[in-house]
Structure 1
Amino acid sequence: MTVQDVLDLIRDKGIKMVDFRIVDVPGRQHHVTVPATHVDEETLRRGLPFDGSSIQGFRGIEESDMVMRPDLDTAFVDPFTKVPTLNLMCDVYEPSGIRYDRDPRFIAQKAEAYLERTGVADRAYFGPELEFFVFDDVRFDTGQNGAFYAVDSEEGIWNSGKSGEANLGYKIRNKSGYFPVAPSDTQQDLRSEIVLALEEAGLPVERHHHEVATAGQAEINFRFDTLTKTADHVLLYKYIVRNVARKYGKVATFMPKPLFGDNGSGMHVHQSLFRGEVPLFYQEGAYASLSETALQYIAGILYHAPAILAFSNASTNSYKRLVPGFEAPVNLVFSQGNRSAAIRVPVAGVTPKAARIEFRTPDSTSNPYLAFAAMLMAGLDGIQKRMDPKALGYGPLDKNIYELSPAEKEGIRSVPGSYSEALAALEADHEFLLAGDVFSEDFIHNWIELKKTSEVEQVAIRPHPYEFYLYFDL
């Protein structure tokens, strides 16, 4: 969109407020709102000043002046505000006018530019599948002398014996929530309303359904796009999901493992490369119709997976999902149509343009700009170094890996067992991210320290409720 297109949209839609948004380093959005009467051509071109020291992972107070400039192609009318409001995603700049190196959106854009410079391809497509829970109630607290959390859902199997009000049954059993119809599935209308809001905001949706877990686990799939645009769409998706759930008096969470004893929520990421209109991942008659380029890309992701997970599974809670027994993709191998492998190659209805790989390990605690950029850089490293996934021991392995014996599993690498391990892997293996100045040493060091000090160490030093069960009487 041009500046005039946005000004026309403000006039035609009767917009009263314009919301300017940025994303911080961990992946949360922040916004400032300006009356539409004060938004003119200069505002849309030059942007707005803001305090970078108040944004997590950005600047200290001694150098806090920064500027956000809107990407006009991201404009959409907010469906949740009473006052007509236009939302715009922004890029972050230094006061001097140069891009800010720690802006996650800039890193995603640099990854796309680097892809073109390599000559390998000119477009990378990403199609994430975000899973989430919609609960009826959530409570949590932590203090000096106590800590707890509790979530509830009318669908939760733990409510099958609930009394005090009419209990109409049809609770969803653990691991039995895939595709049930009403009345077991209580959230059909909620998900449909999310779909309508997404499409109204310009994001095409392919399907929605209840997911495997009890208690309102859901998935809504939107159409793939290029790297930065898809990361923009992930933030838009999460914003709309959360606010439609709130409208229904419920709460949505993308936390990977909010429930013990049932499947967690992932963000499976489909990926492919194109040069012009030519798909680069397809080869007729080959294993899973994969080209040599696709195999090398797979090898790059699996080789660098422990480091990638520092961005793609960016929470201590992520590694409570990545445990055997809950369809968790913990095995660093690839396979066609096999959901027990970290990389699945979809084979149903494959055409040259639909040929792709699916990295199943990531989850939605990631900052999508950083996670997608890290995946692309790893894949490109595999292509440039002509890595062979077979020679490296990454498969293909066309078996249910969960049912292999310990002897059969020997030699299969697994994902890190904790976020501390993933951050250590990133510290040891990040040269591939520095290519083309996509990531910087400063950014990676800042990320590791931020995550260690504000998350990993804070979780580690607090007593856990289960520790009382294990140790209180010793």
Structure 2
Amino acid sequence: MTITATRSTELDQHRELNADETAVKSVRARIAEAGVEYVYYQIVTLTGRVVGKVVPARHLPRNIEHGIQAHPGVVADLQVDGSGAMLAGSPERGECVVLPDLDSFGVLPWDTRTGFFFCRMYEPDHAPGDDGGRPVPIDARGNLRRVHAGFTARTGLEMRSGIEPEVTWEVPGLSTEHVPGTPHTMYHLEHMERLRPVYQKVIEYGRALGLDMIEGNCEDPGQLELNWMFDHADRTADRLILHRQICRRVAREAGATVSFMPKPADDRFGNGCHHNISLWDGERNVFVDPDVPGLHLTQTGKDALGGILTHAAASTAVMGPTVNSYKRYLHTGQFAPLEINWGMDNKTCAVRMPANGRLEIKSPDSMVNPYLSHAVLLAAVEDGLTQGIDPGLPRTTGTGVPSPFGSLPLTLKDALDLFAVDQAVARGLGSELADLFLRLKTREWERFCASVTDWERRMYGAEGC
């Protein structure tokens, strides 16, 4: 009798991970200890929104094996193209399996009856042909895991990152206006005091959800930047999503409004989300040579930096993913980059080296999808390592020499045009995810071009004639 071997799919492998007795016992113990009754099974869309389903906690055994079902259209926020067709799939397309990662389990500190998992998406076992059980390529979180694992397999290195998320708060009783000529609120502790109910609660909830909160400050009236310790890039991406969820919760509790808009007003600082990255071989940071004194970057670090600079223009579509993003770059004098260059602790540069061991990429803003941005950075870094790309000399104060890497694009449309032809960036996202992102954001640009804005009314309306 001939026995046909059953093909093990990536969905099967994920199920095997979820069958680990130690991991399951750990989750069950946390559910029992906190009194969790409901669990969110959540995925993240291309625009960074959190979607999913809620399931009673007593169904945990079934869900860790079978997950939940979801239509892939949610990945693109159910957006449609100009003809009305869905950008991700179609109404006739079957649903996907959304399977939780057990190590991502958490309990909401503001309601301990509710827990959550981050999940990855797969085609169901019954999908036609060889599709059954394969990862859904347009799942940005799953894509980052695969890209990072592939990067590590080829280079022996992993990326660790820390991010600096800036957000704008409108709090009752707090003026967010700055009068020109008066002292600015940057680092002003009196302004921090007025935001104390906000930042204390954000830090409290962050610590409860595993974010090792380290420092924070206010740079503009109403703007807060609260940071946590760097970690493996995959975990950092999850934590940024959690941070945004925390901020929205705190805003509801405080009767405040929180905005992640990259450029919230003409006279306000933009909201950046700088990515600080490093490469590690085990517990050795390969950007640092312990035998070299002073501020320096190893050859490996320079190669990685060369890749980042080479692909910075095309990556901007991901790092600045909204129409509004480009107003932050164009508002000069507010620490946002425009020229593609690098410098040793130079805040004017697109990539800054503030200390040994890390590179600070300043183009990402507060609307960035961290799964996409880290995947693109991994692809750019690997290209730099493979090609040995020279980043050139660091920019010094007063240097007027134009950067050989050019400037960042000035509109979302310009950025998308560059994104569409950069092969390294496409490798970071994969062809299907890159194509969906391009179509989704092109449609966003088209809708913006068709919209009449307040600026146009002021400029060309009755009072402007």
TM-score normalised per structure 1? 0.84
Describe the superposition over 1:228-282 as per-residue Cα deviations: whole angstroms up to 9, x where unpaired: 1111111011101121122110011111101112210101100000111221111
Aligned partner of 1:260 in structure 2 is 266
Aligned pair 1:305/2:335, yes or no? no
C-alpha change, 1:175 and 1:259, in structure 2 (3 Å) is farther
Q: What is the alpha-carbon distance in structure 2 between the residues aligned to residue 218 and residue 385 of structure 1? A: 39
C-alpha change, 1:299 and 1:95, in structure 2 (3 Å) is same
The within-5 A match list for 1:150-161 is 154-157=174-177
Q: Report the alpha carbon displacement of residue 322 of structure 1 after superposing the two structures with TM.
A: 0.4
Q: Report the alpha carbon displacement of residue 409 of structure 1 after superposing the two structures with TM.
A: 4.4
Aligned pair 1:178/2:186, yes or no? yes
Aligned pair 1:46/2:81, yes or no? no
Q: What is the alpha-carbon distance in structure 2 between the residues aligned to residue 154 and residue 439 of structure 1? A: 42
Aligned partner of 1:357 in structure 2 is 359
Report the more deviating stretch, 229-238 or 442-451. Answer: 442-451
Q: Report the alpha carbon displacement of residue 185 of structure 1 after superposing the two structures with TM.
A: 4.4
The within-5 A match list for 1:242-281 is 242-281=248-287
SS in 1 for 2:339: coil
Q: What is the alpha-carbon distance in structure 1 between the residues aligned to residue 241 and residue 108 of structure 2? A: 13
Q: What is the alpha-carbon distance in structure 1 between the residues aligned to residue 307 and residue 277 of structure 2? A: 13
Aligned partner of 2:386 in structure 1 is 384
Q: What is the alpha-carbon distance in structure 1 between the residues aligned to residue 165 and residue 398 of structure 2? A: 24
The within-5 A match list for 1:395-406 is 395-399=393-397
Aligned partner of 1:103 in structure 2 is 139
Q: Which runs of 5+ in 2 are unaligned?
A: 1-21, 77-86, 126-132
Of the candidates 19, 25, 42, which is equivalent to residue 4 of structure 1? 25
Of the candidates 418, 433, 436, which is equivalent to residue 425 of structure 1? 418
The within-5 A match list for 1:63-462 is 63-81=93-111, 84-96=113-125, 97-119=133-155, 121-136=156-171, 154-157=174-177, 176-182=184-190, 185-211=193-219, 213-214=220-221, 216-283=222-289, 284-285=291-292, 288-323=295-330, 324-347=332-355, 350=356, 355-390=357-392, 395-399=393-397, 408-409=401-402, 413-429=406-422, 431-435=423-427, 438-453=428-443, 455-462=444-451
Aligned partner of 1:62 in structure 2 is 92
Q: Which amino acid aligns with 1:65?
A: E
Q: What is the alpha-carbon distance in structure 1 between the residues aligned to residue 73 and residue 322 of structure 2? A: 23
Q: Report the alpha carbon displacement of residue 136 of structure 1 after superposing the two structures with TM.
A: 3.5
Describe the superposition over 1:124-153 as per-residue Cα deviations: whole angstroms up to 9, x where unpaired: 10111100001148xxxxxxxxxxxxxxx7
CA contact (8 A) 2:170 2:176 kept: no
Describe the superposition over 1:18-62 as per-residue Cα deviations: whole angstroms up to 9, x where unpaired: 11111112221112111122222x321221112333442642211
SS in 2 for 1:463: coil
Q: Report the alpha carbon displacement of residue 122 of structure 1 after superposing the two structures with TM.
A: 2.7
Q: Which amino acid aligns with 1:109?
A: R
Report the more deviating stretch, 173-182 or 379-388. Answer: 173-182
Q: What is the alpha-carbon distance in structure 2 between the residues aligned to residue 240 and residue 184 of structure 1? A: 18
C-alpha change, 1:110 and 1:174, in structure 2 (3 Å) is farther
CA contact (8 A) 1:18 1:35 kept: yes
CA contact (8 A) 2:206 2:246 kept: yes
CA contact (8 A) 2:311 2:425 kept: no
Q: What is the alpha-carbon distance in structure 2 between the residues aligned to residue 59 and residue 23 of structure 1? A: 17
Q: Report the alpha carbon displacement of residue 64 of structure 1 after superposing the two structures with TM.
A: 3.4
Q: What is the alpha-carbon distance in structure 1 between the residues aligned to residue 381 and residue 293 of structure 2? A: 20
Describe the superposition over 1:184-208 as per-residue Cα deviations: whole angstroms up to 9, x where unpaired: 7410231011111100111111112
Q: Report the alpha carbon displacement of residue 362 of structure 1 after superposing the two structures with TM.
A: 0.7
Aligned partner of 1:21 in structure 2 is 42
Q: What is the alpha-carbon distance in structure 1 between the residues aligned to residue 347 and residue 396 of structure 2? A: 10
C-alpha change, 1:184 and 1:130, in structure 2 (3 Å) is closer
TM-score normalised per structure 2? 0.86
C-alpha change, 1:176 and 1:5, in structure 2 (3 Å) is same
CA contact (8 A) 1:374 1:433 kept: yes
Q: What is the alpha-carbon distance in structure 1 between the residues aligned to residue 41 and residue 411 of structure 2? A: 36
CA contact (8 A) 2:419 2:425 kept: no
Q: Report the alpha carbon displacement of residue 463 of structure 1 after superposing the two structures with TM.
A: 1.8
CA contact (8 A) 1:122 1:276 kept: yes
Q: What is the alpha-carbon distance in structure 1 between the residues aligned to residue 366 and residue 177 of structure 2? A: 25
CA contact (8 A) 2:192 2:217 kept: no
Describe the superposition over 1:373-403 as per-residue Cα deviations: whole angstroms up to 9, x where unpaired: 101110110111000111xxxx3112167xx
CA contact (8 A) 1:157 1:173 kept: no
Q: What is the alpha-carbon distance in structure 2 between the residues aligned to residue 50 and residue 411 of structure 1? A: 46
SS in 2 for 1:270: strand
Q: What is the alpha-carbon distance in structure 1 between the residues aligned to residue 389 and residue 116 of structure 2? A: 43
CA contact (8 A) 1:190 1:248 kept: yes
Q: Report the alpha carbon displacement of residue 177 of structure 1 after superposing the two structures with TM.
A: 2.2
C-alpha change, 1:289 and 1:14, in structure 2 (3 Å) is same
C-alpha change, 1:369 and 1:287, in structure 2 (3 Å) is same
Q: Which amino acid aligns with 2:315?
A: I
Q: Report the alpha carbon displacement of residue 175 of structure 1 after superposing the two structures with TM.
A: 8.4
